[in-house]
């Protein structure tokens, strides 16, 4: 039986650098060759929970109310999407057989999987923990993979928190007990358990290559340090990059490691990337075995990127390309031929939901900030002003960044307590962001234009910050 509606499969990596695709990703390379590739795609926030809140709702974090990972109890309400905000699972599950496997970081006051009206089949971290307990196995990670850092709570006082550090080690259990091995297996079970009388909606949310870098063989030993060509900006702190980053997790931890130490860390990161690739390859193989690959829309992306030593920084939590630029590919079902196979215009993760609504004929929720990508796919112009990104702290409110990308220029505003620092980069000619044009005073027109745009965006989206742009010369 052929379903009139296409199957929809979203595969999301966690913390995958856009430039990690290549030598160690043969299955993703093949998918990429069959997809429309968006070369300049950006997340809405370089942090798991607000990034996914924006992705699944088509709204900016300011609008969803989900700004941080809700780890500190005092600020927990700022890690939740506002109750009543429609999300993609709700839109799909009425006509599609809806499945979620893997990491579930779409947070509401009552999580979607706990809502009694949900028709989605949920398999989340809770299922993984129960699976390990049932088999008497330990999860990857542990105290040796954590380090102590200071973190502002509510922007008022400092607490000591424990976050991931780039320590590497071999996970001695079988890959089936590794989180991403478990996700692949459960995704394959979903594919064999689906209702064949309905089109399939599958959201497979991987953890890889997010730390801890505690990975099983053969992936632990798969990538040799001598095989890695590090980007020039790994292990380098540039004179005009924001010193306020030293108050942030990414700077506190990242500056402890040398360029050569990063080389060995990269080897394990890329091993995780390869493990991710093999899991995705198995999913695609099963789609083809069942004969539903051709009638499937497959979207591959990551929630955000990973600094991995670039600018001497670690993890995400900042606005450099390695942290906020993401892979984004869409393989369309047979019957739709896009006008372009490669899109060079800047796009945002909040554009995904309206794109799916238009392509699938769904009623689009009111007041979306994202704009459909379908005009670009038809070869038409799209009236998109710019890409906006924000960061409000990791586990609590306290360190803030705002960013706007328009054309070739990117403005970054760093804010910590009463200090503000500006960075302006030409990300076309300087993709590794080595030269802060704001410090050179050579691009005042572009700087002032982006500052004005950012201030209007913050007002329009109800940003809780209200700094005046008259402080623009604090570089």
Average pLDDT (339-356) is 97
pLDDT in tens, 46-76: 999 999 999 999 999 999 999 999 999 999 9
Identify the burial level of 475 via C-beta atoms within 10 angstroms of its C-beta, where 0-12 means exposed, 13-18 middle and 19 or more buried. middle
User: Average pLDDT for residues 98-107, to the nearest whole number?
Assistant: 98
pLDDT greater than 70 at residue 20: yes
Cross-strand partners of 419 = 416
Residue 366 lies in a domain: yes
Q: How many domains does the chain have?
A: 1
Cβ-contact 36, 329 below 8 angstroms: yes
Which candidate, 325, 168, 307, 167, places its Cα nearest to that of 248? 307
In a domain, 408, yes or no: no
pLDDT of the residue at 466 = 81
Q: Give the burial class of 165: count Cβ atoms within 10 A of its Cβ; 0-12 exposed, 13-18 middle, 19 or more buried.
A: buried
Residue 443 lies in a domain: no
What mean pLDDT is reported for the chain? 96
In this model, does residue 467 exceed pLDDT 90? no
Q: Is the dihedral of CA 445, 446, 449, 452 positive or negative?
A: negative
Residue 471 has pLDDT above 80, yes or no: no
Contact 408, 346 (CB under 8 A): no
Q: CATH number, domain at 71?
A: 3.40.720.10
User: Span 320-336, mean pLDDT?
Assistant: 97
DSSP string covering 91-126: HHTTTSEEEEEE------SS-GGG-TT--SEEE-HH
Question: Does the pLDDT value for residue 472 go beyond 50?
Answer: no
Confidence of residue 468 (pLDDT cuts 50, 70, 90): low
Tokens of 175: 């890959």
Instruction: Report the distance separating Cα 15 and Cα 33, nearest Å.
Output: 22
Domain assignment present for 197: yes
- pLDDT, one tens digit per residue, over 143-155 is 999 999 999 999 8
Is the residue at 410 inside a domain? no
Question: Which percentage of the chain shows pLDDT scores above 70?
Answer: 97
Give the model's pLDDT for residue 67: 98
User: Residues for the chain: how many in total?
Assistant: 475
CA angle 55, 58, 64 (to 5 degrees): 90
Per-residue pLDDT for 188 more than 80? yes
**337 inside domain:** yes
Contact between 253 and 147 under an 8 Å Cβ cutoff? The reply is yes
Above 70 in pLDDT, residue 473? no
127: containing domain: 7-380
Q: What is the mean pLDDT of residues 376-382?
A: 95
What's the pLDDT tens digit per position in 203-227? 999 999 999 999 999 999 999 999 9
Q: What mean pLDDT is predicted for residues 336-353?
A: 97
The answer to whether residue 309 is domain-embedded is: yes
Confidence at residue 104, expressed as pLDDT on a 0 to 100 scale:
98
Place of tokens 């497959």: 298
Q: Does position 469 have pLDDT exceeding 60, yes or no? A: no
pLDDT of residue 384: 87
Among residues of the chain, what percentage have pLDDT more than 90? 96
Q: Is residue 416 part of a domain?
A: no
């Amino acid at each position: 039986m052929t379903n009139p509606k296409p199957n929809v499969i979203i595969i999301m990596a966690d913390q995958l650098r856009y430039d990690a695709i290549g030598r160690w990703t043969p299955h993703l390379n093949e998918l990429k060759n069959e997809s429309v590739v968006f070369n300049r795609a950006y997340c809405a926030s370089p942090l798991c929970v607000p990034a996914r809140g924006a992705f699944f709702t088509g709204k900016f974090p300011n609008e969803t109310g989900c700004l941080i990972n809700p780890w500190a109890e005092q600020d927990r309400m700022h890690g939740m999407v506002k109750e009543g905000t429609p999300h993609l699972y709700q839109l799909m599950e009425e006509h599609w057989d809806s499945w979620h496997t893997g990491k579930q970081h779409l947070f509401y006051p009552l999580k979607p999987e706990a809502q009694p009206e949900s028709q989605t089949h949920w398999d989340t971290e809770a299922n993984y923990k129960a699976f390990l307990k049932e088999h008497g196995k330990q999860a990857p990670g542990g105290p040796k993979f954590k380090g102590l850092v200071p973190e502002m709570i509510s922007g008022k006082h400092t607490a000591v928190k424990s976050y991931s550090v780039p320590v590497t080690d071999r996970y001695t259990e079988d890959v089936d007990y590794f989180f991403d091995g478990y996700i692949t297996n459960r995704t394959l079970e979903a594919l064999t358990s689906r209702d064949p009388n309905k089109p399939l909606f599958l959201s497979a949310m991987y953890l890889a290559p997010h730390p801890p870098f505690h990975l099983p063989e053969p992936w632990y030993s798969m990538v040799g340090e001598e095989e890695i060509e590090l980007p020039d900006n790994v292990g380098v702190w540039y004179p005009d990059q924001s010193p306020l980053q030293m108050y942030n997790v990414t700077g506190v931890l990242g500056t402890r490691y040398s360029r050569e130490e990063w080389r060995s860390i990269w080897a394990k990161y890329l091993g995780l990337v390869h493990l991710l690739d093999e899991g995705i390859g198995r999913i695609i193989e099963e789609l083809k075995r069942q004969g539903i690959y051709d009638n499937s829309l497959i979207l591959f992306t990551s929630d955000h990127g990973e600094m991995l030593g670039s600018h001497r920084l670690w993890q995400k939590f900042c606005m450099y390309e390695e942290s906020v630029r993401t892979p984004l590919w869409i393989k369309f079902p047979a019957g739709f031929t896009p006008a372009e196979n490669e899109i060079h215009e800047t796009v945002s993760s909040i554009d995904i939901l309206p794109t799916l609504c238009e392509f699938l004929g769904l009623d689009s929720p009111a007041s979306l900030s994202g704009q459909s990508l379908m005009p670009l796919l038809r070869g038409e112009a799209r009236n998109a002003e710019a890409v906006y990104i924000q960061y409000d702290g990791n586990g609590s409110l306290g360190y803030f960044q705002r960013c706007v990308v328009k054309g070739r220029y990117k403005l970054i505003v760093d804010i910590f307590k009463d200090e503000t620092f500006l960075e302006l980069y030409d990300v076309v000619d300087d993709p590794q962001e080595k030269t802060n044009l704001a410090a050179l005073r050579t691009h005042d027109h572009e700087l002032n234009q982006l500052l004005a745009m950012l201030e209007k965006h913050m007002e329009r989206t109800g940003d809780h910050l209200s700094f005046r742009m008259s402080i623009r010369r604090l570089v």
